[in-house]
Amino acid sequence: MDRNPLSAEFLATVSHGPGVYQMLGKTQVLYVGKALDLRKRLSQYAHFTGPAHSKTAVMLSHVRRVETILTTTEKEALILEASLIKQHRPRYNVILRDDKNYPLIKVTTRDPWPRVVVTRKRLRDGNRYFGPYAQSTAMRATLQLLHTQFPLRRCATVQQRSRPCLNHQMGRCLAPCAGRVDTSEYQRMVRAVVNILEGRIDNVIEDLTAKMNRASENLAFEKAAQYRDQIKGVQRTIEHQAIVAEHHLDQDVFAMHRQDASVGIALLFIRAGMITGAQSFFLADPLGEDESLLAQTLLQYYSSERQPPREVLLPFELADQDLISERLTEFREGTVTLNVPRRGKRMHLMRMAADNAAQVFSEQAKKEQSWTTLATALQQTLRLANRPDTIECLDISNLQGRQAVGSLVSFVLGEKMTRQFRHYRIKSQDTPDDYAMMAEVLERRLARGVEQNDLPDLLLLDGGKGQLQVATTLLARFNLLDTVDLAAIAKEKADEGERLFRPGRKNPILLPAHSPVLLYLMRIRDEAHRFGITLHRKLRGKDHLHSRLDIITGIGPRRKKQLLQTLGSFKRIQKADVAKLAATPGIGPELARQIYEQLHRHDSTLDP
């Protein structure tokens, strides 16, 4: 029987139409690709004659099955390919590790009294957005100066009040809520803030200088001094920003640098002609040509939550450039053009991005050298059989056996891999037995690891000899004692530092407090503890909250949630009168009366 997943019999069943193909291994999706002609594209894989050590040959050697999905158009295939890559994160596709959204500055120009806030989502709501800012410290310094020199309101809503709040007394708010500022003066400040964020500094300084001179001529020296301070603040605001263009456009500039099998990708954020930040990605050994890699990067990087700017500059033309431009336009809900600069200011920006892409390799080399030094020290100090390139740490959190949670964190080549962090709800224990809980979680983790051939080099436990013995027994049961190294780290006692335990060693390993090996293992242990405690506290909070709200009959989960959102906390619900309860959306006077009676009938039961 022919076991070749790309056999002639299989290819004969594949359509010549557009679609997406998935290369699957034993348990995982290895690669996702698209094609205008599926049969032709898969036939190229079937007849691949490249070197046996090439990335494509290695990938094909692990393929056990190929699946295809037909689409109506090539654009549908493009969208589906990007969606499947984000869903399955195949090891041979481009995977951008740093996929966080950088912060934006939002000016709520649609409000009668606008304010300046930080957000990570750009919405089509008519307000003004500036950024993203890759360096949040610089962004917050800019915000601080804007708040100081242009004291727009900070509060979420404007409620009329007779006396202004403390912010006004401290000079941090103009107090529109108390009528201390007229609309024209407030809007002047809003326009100044927008102009500064747009990079139109000269207009702002010219306007403020004219106002300062008029105030001085009218002998209003205090007002003139305020304008003078605003001018100095505006000048300080732009000191950290490099103006690289005079067109005031928003642009993203991509550059790519290849070195042997690896690729560095750099991205510059140009907002209103100023560089607001940069981002870089290192792809160790990606599969595909440069055009395909850059196309995958664009479709993986941008989304409806992380919208592209009006113009994206690229180092070369893409095969599907028009389709990609259409897709980015949908994300932005406005025109996005992809341009390859040849001369002028845009070419200058491209050269800057190219220098950053080349710099990725220098930074990566430093990281690799640093990790090699630390990994060697780890292996020698703990006498490990394997170089610990992948380290996982397990921590158990519980409160007298209740809400027990196992947290597993993963570090690869010295860096934490948050996408591989896992929480485990303890199923078999409701009494405080850390050993049994750890055994349950480890058994589940090792079973999955054996099935998917996904095991760490070093398994680190938060605990001492007891936890180490539990893990040793389980590794022996799975026949993994020679595959996975084990270590445990116990929290320090009053008279000694952190203690490290290894199987077959009676006494703990005691390292100096400043030892890089100890500090690194403590960092991993603390990350596992933090990750577990975060979920544990959330579960405890939900359990405590639900146990008190569930006593109230006649309302379901939706109305309970509405009560909490409207009134803020359970204590405020208890203290609210019938009128305030009735004002909650979906409650009404009759239901409010019933809730009020139940709350006060069960006061002694509901009090924490």
Q: CA 67, CA 25: separation in Å to the nearest integer?
A: 11
pTM (2 decimals)?
A: 0.66
Percent helix, strand, coil in the chain, to 5, is: 45, 20, 35
pLDDT of residue 264: 92
| Paired residues of 242 in beta bridges | 275
What's the CATH number for 550-606?
1.10.150.20
Residue 534 burial (10 A CB sphere; 0-12, 13-18, 19+): middle
Supply the CATH classification number for the domain 8-88.
3.40.1440.10
In terms of phi and psi (left: phi > 0; alpha: psi -120 to 50; beta: otherwise), the region of 124 is beta
Please report which confidence band the pLDDT of residue 245 belongs to, taking 50, 70 and 90 as the band edges: low
Predicted confidence (pLDDT) at residue 520 exceeds the cutoff of 80:
yes
* Domain spans in the chain, listed from the N-terminal domain onward: 8-88, 251-361, 390-541, 550-606
CA distance linking residue 7 with residue 258, whole number of Å: 34
Say whether pLDDT at 402 is over 80: no
Instruction: Confirm if 153 and 116 have CB atoms less than 8 A apart.
Output: no
pLDDT at 604: 41
Kindly give the pairing relationship between strand 337-339 and strand 499-501.
unpaired
Query: Does an H or E element contain 338, and which?
Result: strand 337-339
Predicted local distance difference test score (pLDDT) of residue 284 = 79
Burial 24-59 (b: 16+ CB within 10 A, else e): bbeeebbbbbbbeebbebbeebbeeeeeeeeebeeb
Mean pLDDT of 253-272: 89
Task: Kindly report, residue by residue over 40-75, the tens digit of the pLDDT.
Answer: 999 999 998 888 878 888 899 989 999 999 999 999
pLDDT in tens, 96-113: 865 567 788 899 988 889
pLDDT at 230 over 80: no
pLDDT of res. 578: 84
Residue 210 pLDDT more than 70?
A: yes
The better pLDDT of the pair 429, 516 is held by: 516
Residue 307 has pLDDT above 80, yes or no: yes
The mean pLDDT of 473-494, rounded to a whole number, is 88
Looking at residue 369, its amino acid is Q
Does residue 537 carry a pLDDT above 70? no
Residue 209 has pLDDT above 60, yes or no: yes
Residue 487 scores a pLDDT above 90: yes
Q: For 143-194, how does the pLDDT look when each residue is reduced to its tens digit (9 = 90+)?
A: 877 787 788 888 877 777 778 888 787 777 888 888 888 888 899 889 888 8
Q: What is the pLDDT of residue 398?
A: 64
Q: What is the pLDDT of residue 608?
A: 37
Residue 137 pLDDT > 60, yes or no?
yes
Peptide bond preceding 132: is omega within 30 degrees of 0, i.e. cis?
Answer: yes
The three-class DSSP label of residue 578 is helix
Cα(360)–Cα(267) distance, rounded to whole angstroms? 11
User: Poorest-confidence range of 4-13, 441-450, 588-597?
Assistant: 588-597
**pLDDT band at residue 326 under the 50/70/90 scheme:** very high
* Per-residue pLDDT at 399 exceeds 60: no
Supply the pLDDT for residue 45.
93
The whole-number pLDDT of residue 43 equals 95
Q: State yes or no: pLDDT of 555 exceeds 80.
A: no
Tokens read off for 580: 């305030």
Lowest-confidence pick of 188-197, 528-537, 543-552, 585-594: 543-552
**Highest mean pLDDT: which range of 224-228, 376-380, 562-566, 572-576:** 376-380
Dig out the tokens for 459 from the structure.
Answer: 């398994």
pLDDT tens-digit readout, 119-128 = 888 887 888 8
- pLDDT band of residue 548 (cuts 50, 70, 90) is low
| Higher local confidence (pLDDT), 97 or 285 | 285
Residue 405's beta-bridge partner residues? 397, 425
Q: Is the pLDDT of residue 605 over 50?
A: no
Range of lowest pLDDT (201-215, 235-249, 358-372, 550-564)? 235-249
Inter-CA distances, 499 with 465, 471, 519, Å:
10, 17, 12
Kindly state the average pLDDT of the residues 262-280.
85
pLDDT at residue 198 greater than cutoff 60:
yes
CATH 3.30.420.10 fits 251-361, yes or no: yes
- In angstroms, the Cα distances linking 242 to 195, 273, 287, 355 are 16, 9, 36, 16
DSSP H helices, 199-239, are: 201-217, 221-237
pLDDT of 1 > 50? The answer is no
Q: Do domains 8-88 and 550-606 have the same CATH topology?
A: no
**At 75, which amino acid appears?**
K
Going through 358-432 in order, the beta strands assigned E by DSSP cover 390-399, 402-412, 415-416, 422-425
- Residue 503 near residue 385 (C-beta atoms within 8 A): no
**Residue 260: per-residue pLDDT:** 79
User: What is residue 94's predicted lDDT score, i.e. its pLDDT?
Assistant: 87
CATH superfamily for 390-541 is UvrC, RNAse H endonuclease domain (3.30.420.340)
What average pLDDT does the structure give for the chain?
A: 84
For 64-92, give the DSSP string. Answer: -EEEEEE-SSHHHHHHHHHHHHHHH--TT
**Tally: H helices and E strands in the chain:** 20, 20
